A and B are shown apart, each in its own frame.
Chain A
Amino acid sequence: MFSRRAARHGARGGSGASADGAWLLILVLPALLSPLLFAEGFELQRLARFPIFAMLAMSLAFLVGSAGLVSLGHAGFFAAGAYGFAMLAGSCGAPPLFGAAGGLAAATATAALLALASGVFALRTRGIYFLMVTLAIGQVVFYALLDIPFFGGSDGIFLCGAPAQFFGLDGSRSYYVLVSASFALTVLLFWFLRRSYFGRLLRAGEIAESRLEALGYAVFPLHLAAFTVAGAVAGFAGALEAMRFRIVNPELSDWHVSGLLLVMVVLGGRGTLWGPVLGAVLIIGAEEVLVTRYPEDWRVGIGLIAILVALYLPGGLWGSGLWRRVTRSIFGRGGGGDGDGRSMAFAGADSLTVNGDGRSVALVGEASVTSHDVGSSERRQLMPAGAARKKLNDNDGDGDGRHVSGHFDGDGDGDGDDGVVVNDGGVDGDGDGGVVVNDGGVDDDGDGEGGRLK
């Protein structure tokens, strides 16, 4: 029902060089590869923790930021990938089923299957329920790895066989290059997914699920696809983790890992492409420093970071006012941001037209749901899916849940006057822009015109 042409147009019309684009790889990749010049052996393997967790955080951010699904069991898929690789490509005794490449693929598939299967359960729920169910999924993985002798129990598994080598590099260098390339591919994947039709639908679903459903889209398969993709990428990262020191352990799926991942995602900026990467680097870096400096009390530091982020920085660093101010103070006038966040947020606003009843609905385009939409619909998320939908439909005004419309000029002019607006009272940096969802019923007249912030 959506006009695909319009969607494609939107994609093309999106901001080519936003601060959150994949082009940043040009800068990040050399930095990522630079350790090859000064480090070797185990040191490279140690440093690979950064890109691996960045990949993990990106995959979780895709769920959290694009689909609005807050998962507390992501480490389960990480571990599934790691064990999948260990058992399929690193088994001792009998020759392994796969080589390194096949093992990576098989491990990713394992995690994807697990995500698909568990997603069917988990996605029957929403909000708090979803969070708790995903926590339970992670716990099931943890206990399965711990209790079932087949998986090697509490001591985990040592991988056998020699590490993969290519390009004439030694094991560690090959590995580091592989991880870097995987990181780059993951960035491109999520960059593409976020801009794709699929990514837009996901975000549309997060902002106004009932409207999307009213337009004839089933949200469940969209979410299931997102959950599976995120799980697959986490599994892929897990396989890389298994290759790293060639050992796997049930602790990989500990729920604290999932908790810490969420901290990374939020700290960096969950609605952004690069935020999670920044968050992962900062948190892992902080952990490294704290755990050596304050071995007895380092958890105080991590706890404080989590609390401070929750209270003062729920929108994340990337693109936030704070980050801009910090960089501006470092680089002088005009450093590091656009001043009010609007051009970044609305750089790619575009429209998707609906053919159904002739009215037009625009959904925000690329990069537009940045850190502004803190918790798009709190109240809604407190309820399981069914209840939420009903409630939203009630609020759509005319009550039939069908003739839903929104009006947007979709001109991408970045004036912030239009678009869907989330009334979150959250961290908007400057408070003037953002996407507003009329969840509270301001738009009850059904003309789609209401809910403007100014």
Chain B
Amino acid sequence: MSQNLPVTKRRLLTTAAAAVTAVALPAPFIRRASAAPMRIGVYLPYSGVFTSLGTKITNALELALAENNNKLGGREVELLKIDSEADPSKAPERMVRFIGQGAEIIIGPVHSGVALGMIRVLQNQNTTLIIPNAGAGAATGELCAPNIFRTSFTNWQPAWPMGKIMHERGARRAMSISWNYAAGQESVAGLRQGFEENGGEIVDEILAPFPTVEFQSYMPEIAASDVDAVYTFFSGASAVQFIRQYHEAGLDRNIPLYAVGFLTEGTLDGLEEIAEGLETTMHYADDLPLEANRRFRAAYQDRFGVAADVYAVQGYDTGRLLVHALAQVDGDTGDAAKLQAALRSFEAADSPRGAWRFSRAQNPIQDIYLRRVSDGINRYQGVAAAQVEDPGTGCAL
């Protein structure tokens, strides 16, 4: 039985070494031929808590492309998808992988931390990045670059007009509660600025540990404080819990709750009367009275069997932006400066969210709407602030 075969073992290990090389090799050798389909890297979450956002953005992006016969500037389009897992630590190398696979444009992500990881690699590169959600101010602030565009918002943007609204509603002393993470802090900072500009005062800021689910222990503190408004930045599951627990603590009867729209986006299912009457600010409202919006919602509902929301709109606008810009450059992404100029020139006249265009820092200048939850829908109440531009602090573009 026993064969003493060091040589064959050596051979075995050569195999292993060969395997290492094999795994390592392919990416850099896949280079695009110029007439080949246009490859677009899509880096969105397809697992974990942000999955539904990733799916909606992808759906709407595909809808926009399908409306253009799945072609951009005359070239077929091939979407390369990778699950971002909402994990920033993997973002840089996934970008390298996209570039290795020949992606000419990259779309993503949902999560702010992931955005920063992507930018780390894509900064000073020719590959264009279009951010369809993540609101980290830095992406179009101190980290801005000619190849980085955003079709969604900065965390500051929808929060700032809320300060004025709260003041109009009679609030003078308010407190804020959000998760202790970057997006929450940026949003609260925007609100504080808007509220103080109008003469209000934020007397207390609660930062709940991320990603906590239990807010009950904060209710006594809110009840005990003598504020006349509470501002909050939560989304997804935490939003549902917060709204419900705020209601169950009886606080909504005495202290009105204000928030940016994420609180009530995709979270109203099952909340029923609890969420009724909540006022939020956002760059979109489900029943925005625009022909483009009606058309988009009908098409989306038709194709995917579910209602569109703000995330879908952001995905759709990303697709529309690509259609516009690549038509201008005839599908040639080789000249980065030309492509970037074409992207910058985009003016969304018929976006479902209303007209918007890029700011100097390449973030949308857009209307922020006031919405009110009624019958489980974020209903349009009017424009809270017209054509809001993020200050883009620190951006040298």
* Contact present for B113 and A147 (CB under 8 Å): no
Assess whether A153 is interfacial by the CB under 8 Å rule.
yes
Residue of A nearest to B16 (CB): A278
Q: Which residues of A contact B113 (CB under 8 A)?
A: 154-156, 249, 251
* Contact present for A245 and B87 (CB under 8 Å): no
Q: Which residues of A contact B181 (CB under 8 A)?
A: 146, 153-155
- Taken residue by residue from 148 to 160, chain A's Cβ proximity to chain B (1 for < 8 Å, 0 otherwise) reads as 0000011110100
* Contact present for A143 and B209 (CB under 8 Å): yes
In whole angstroms, how far apart are the Cα atoms of A21 and B204 in the complex? Answer: 62
- Beyond A38-B28, A146-B181, whether A43 also contacts B89 by CB under 8 A is no
Residue of A nearest to B92 (CB): A245
Classify chain B's interface size. Answer: 35 or more
| Chain A residues within 8 Å of chain B by Cβ, number | 64
Q: Which residues of B contact A299 (CB under 8 A)?
A: 47
Assess whether A366 is interfacial by the CB under 8 Å rule.
no
Give A2-58 interface residues, CB cut-off 8 Å to B: 17, 19, 24, 27-28, 30-32, 34-35, 38-39, 42-43, 45-47, 49-50
Residue of B nearest to A146 (CB): B210
Q: Which residues of B contact A284 (CB under 8 A)?
A: 23
- Beyond A19-B13, A146-B181, A288-B23, whether A336 also contacts B8 by CB under 8 A is yes
Residue of A nearest to B120 (CB): A247
Assess whether B36 is interfacial by the CB under 8 Å rule.
no
Would you give the shortest CB distance from A433 to chain B, in whole angstroms? 10
Interface Cβ pair total, 8 Å cutoff: 180
Give A215-272 interface residues, CB cut-off 8 Å to B: 244-249, 251-252, 254
Which of A128-136, A327-335, A404-412, A437-445 faces chain B? A327-335
Q: Which residues of A contact B100 (CB under 8 A)?
A: 43, 46
* Contact present for A42 and B96 (CB under 8 Å): yes
Q: Pick from A19, A39, A49: contact of B6, CB below 8 A.
A: A19
* Contact present for A245 and B121 (CB under 8 Å): yes
Would you give the shortest CB distance from B397 to chain A, in whole angstroms? 19
In whole angstroms, how far apart are the Cα atoms of A330 and B5 in the complex? Answer: 16
- Beyond A43-B100, A285-B23, A339-B3, whether A298 also contacts B13 by CB under 8 A is no
Chain B interface, >50% SS class: helix
Assess whether B35 is interfacial by the CB under 8 Å rule.
no
Give A281-298 interface residues, CB cut-off 8 Å to B: 281-282, 284-285, 288, 291-292, 295-296, 298
Q: Pick from A27, A46, A254, A340: contact of B13, CB below 8 A.
A: A27
Give B103-127 interface residues, CB cut-off 8 Å to A: 112-113, 116-117, 120-121
Assess whether A403 is interfacial by the CB under 8 Å rule.
no
* Contact present for A288 and B97 (CB under 8 Å): yes
Would you give the shortest CB distance from A43 to chain B, in whole angstroms? 5
* Contact present for A327 and B12 (CB under 8 Å): yes
Q: Which residues of A contact B253 (CB under 8 A)?
A: none
Instruction: Apart from A337-B9, A342-B2, list 15 A-B contacts with CB within 8 A.
Output: A19-B9, A153-B182, A155-B112, A155-B113, A155-B181, A158-B120, A245-B117, A252-B89, A292-B80, A295-B46, A296-B81, A337-B5, A338-B3, A340-B1, A414-B2
Q: List 28 A-B contacts (CB under 8 A).
A: A27-B17, A28-B16, A38-B28, A45-B93, A146-B181, A153-B181, A153-B185, A154-B112, A156-B88, A156-B89, A158-B116, A245-B93, A247-B88, A248-B89, A249-B117, A281-B16, A281-B23, A282-B19, A295-B83, A296-B81, A298-B47, A298-B83, A330-B15, A331-B8, A336-B11, A336-B12, A337-B12, A339-B3
